[in-house]
Amino acid sequence: MHGQVRDSDGRPVPDTLVEVWQANAGGRYLHKWDQHDAPLDPHFAGVGRALTDSLGRYRFVTVKPGAYPWRNHHNAWRPAHIHFSLFGRAFTQRLVTQMYFPDDPLFAHDPIYNSVPEAARHRLVSRFDLSATVEQWALGFEFDIVLRGREATPTEQP
């Protein structure tokens, strides 16, 4: 996955620390509190960090996370998603959001996705990017993050 971090005027934001964390392909986090019975992958830590370049771009190579049950109501599943945390010039400047994958059938059942106003939900969904796909190895997805303004990527509120 790759993307660009931009400000409200569309300008790239260089030198931003982008941190990601996610479940493995089976839908399980490498975390002591995750009790999902999907197997852990001993070769997958589920976290990464990168600085944006001079054009505000970032890139991660990872696995597509699996959906997972989260037991907040009967037959509740979270759609496949990757958590993003962006740090500004200081660690007190932090934004947290989630990136979803296109056309997930669980969108309609996810309270977190549905807590975002309908007109802004598309800003949480990545775009398939054939040009970033590596033949016979990895699919490519693009997810741009806009920090402020009318087109801002929805973030978790403190």
Domain ranges of the chain: 2-146
Q: How many angstroms separate the Cα of 85 from the Cα of each of 16, 19, 26, 135?
A: 10, 5, 22, 29
In angstroms, rounded to a whole number, what is the distance separating the alpha carbons of residues 15 and 139? 26
Is the pLDDT reported for residue 37 higher than 90? no
For residue 130, give the nearest of 138, 122, 119, 120 by alpha carbon.
138
CATH fold of the domain at 2-146: Protocatechuate 3,4-Dioxygenase, subunit A (2.60.130)
- pLDDT in the model for residue 118: 96
Distance, CA of 84 to CA of 143 (rounded, Å): 10
Examine the pLDDT at 90 and tell me if it is beyond 60: no
Q: How far apart are CA 108 and CA 18, in angstroms?
A: 28
Catalytic residues: 29, 68, 78, 81, 83
pLDDT band per the 50, 70, 90 thresholds, residue 91: low
